A and B are shown apart, each in its own frame.
Chain A
């Protein structure tokens, strides 16, 4: 039972990170029908920006808890903003000029952008792992004083922070999409871009906003990844990106709640698989479940059937 709980906690934490990245995939797909392969690398850039800011500001574990928290929130906000600029630039420079071009063009440039971002970071930061000392340590254990040989469940402050922030961001983002004029414009472009422009919506701007918000959420995931694992390199965007993309497809690509649910499920599958079987095949497990789900539900768990799209 304790062991099960532990995997659950780990899985939800991991799922939060995947879910935050998956939102960017699903929103971009929803609005321009394109898989933004560079999105995983935007997540990676976000984690490097967070690391750079932490080192620049000299944020250290020795600081008092209150100051540390404020500093980390500041770093989070700043790296969201800076990463958003990257997301904006990728769309503006690499995707927008090709809009209306032949169908494979955006796919090819997206792969190109992915490689370009990886190589850029590799050259600018070096190929070696970048470690970061654990900034937030400690947490709860149940039971607090385990009998010899008894398994004790660890719930770290870091995990609590990740899950709480993620839930808050997802609730906020869902409200933004469902309740505000900006969200309505976003959905209008998703359903009928031409009609949206006939109602005075600046479609290009709305697409930019989609990339910007997706990148900002990926930046949050990037910073969590950095703080949680304590080490990053220029290649983390590939694996995390593929998994978050899998999450988006599992949940139903184009669906916002689908991305969140898919992220959570992929995180749980990965945690339970490595907890109960072997961490060697954890990625295969996630993909197998994706394949099985897609056989029975081709548009994913919460996606809408293709037919309605016509």
Chain B
């Protein structure tokens, strides 16, 4: 088997004295959709951010395409083909939709900007209609579409998505998950997805991980995890729809 695109090896992350990650082991292979599920406060977002170097891991290694990136500053990591749509979306509120997308393309040389923009407008037509509008005035669903598109504008090899379904109407959630699946199938985009909504996330994923209190406690194929009794009990009650 070839080396994984991303390997997280014994990673520990602290906020001051509080330890949020306690030796995380996981990997993402080229072309996969990998989902990470876990309760609120388990450390999922911390893992996403640690991969991007903000905060940096105190111990352990993060290997991207054979290269240890765990000591690299965030802006350099993001120039290596990693993009994140972070928790809370973090749209620039006083920039237009178009400017937000331009920010996504900031790491590229700009040569494909028009093509990429057209692709985003095909994926999420609402963004085209809103392109001159300030990011802060969009609805939650539109902001999420913008956050994903902004991440895609950098032409990433690895897309990190932190709770893209949070607070969105079921219809919008379905649309977003459909786009993720399409991008993976048609372009081979590798996706690492964090979700509290385990049902969608595991059904979509090739493989999944379960995190509890800063460590990975379970792993397996998405559908296999979904079938496990302990996963259903802990993460699906009321969540399956």
- Residues of A bordering B, CB below 8 Å: 181, 184-185, 187-188, 191-192, 194-203, 304, 308
Contacts and interface: CB of A to CB of B under 8 A. Distances in A.
Nearest to B160: A198
Interface stretch (B3-11, B58-66, B93-101, B212-220): B93-101
Interface string B134-150: 00100000000000001
A198 B54 contact: yes
B78 A197 contact: yes
Contacts of A197: 54, 73-75, 78
A308 B134 CA distance: 13
A85 to B, nearest CB: 24
Contact of A195 (B73, B90, B107): B90
A269 to B, nearest CB: 29
Question: Nearest 4 pairs between A and B by C-beta?
Answer: A200-B107, A200-B78, A195-B90, A197-B74
Contacts of B94: 187, 191, 304
Contacts of A200: 75, 78-79, 106-107, 154
Nearest to B94: A191
Contacts of B90: 192, 194-195, 198
Contacts of A203: 75
B150 A199 contact: yes
Given A198-B84, A200-B106, A201-B75, 12 more contacts: A181-B102, A181-B106, A184-B103, A185-B103, A191-B92, A192-B92, A195-B90, A197-B54, A199-B104, A199-B107, A200-B78, A200-B79
A195 B107 CA distance: 13
B78 A199 contact: yes
A198 B74 contact: yes
A195 B78 contact: no
A291 B90 CA distance: 35
Interface string B119-139: 000000000000000001000
Chain B residues touching A, range: 20 to 34
A272 to B, nearest CB: 34
B54 A194 contact: yes
A242 to B, nearest CB: 29
The interface centre, meaning the residue of B52, B74, B154 with most chain A CB atoms within 10 A of its CB, is B74
A216 B131 CA distance: 34
A192 B90 CA distance: 8
Nearest to A309: B93
Contacts, number: 61
A169 to B, nearest CB: 24
A191 B92 CA distance: 6
B79 A184 contact: no
Nearest to B107: A200
10 contacts: A184-B102, A187-B95, A192-B92, A195-B92, A198-B52, A198-B54, A198-B86, A199-B104, A199-B106, A200-B106
The interface centre, meaning the residue of B78, B86, B102, B106 with most chain A CB atoms within 10 A of its CB, is B106
Contacts of B84: 198
Contacts of B107: 199-200
Contacts of B52: 198
Nearest to A206: B75
B225 to A, nearest CB: 28
A103 to B, nearest CB: 16
A184 B94 CA distance: 11
B75 A184 contact: no
The interface centre, meaning the residue of A184, A197, A198, A202 with most chain B CB atoms within 10 A of its CB, is A198
A203 B53 CA distance: 14
A308 B52 CA distance: 28
Nearest to B48: A198
Nearest to B93: A191
A47 B103 CA distance: 37
Nearest to A197: B74
B200 to A, nearest CB: 24
B76 to A, nearest CB: 8
Contacts of A191: 92-95
Contacts of A202: 73, 75
A65 B111 CA distance: 47
Contacts of A196: 103
Contacts of B102: 181, 184
Contacts of B54: 194, 197-198
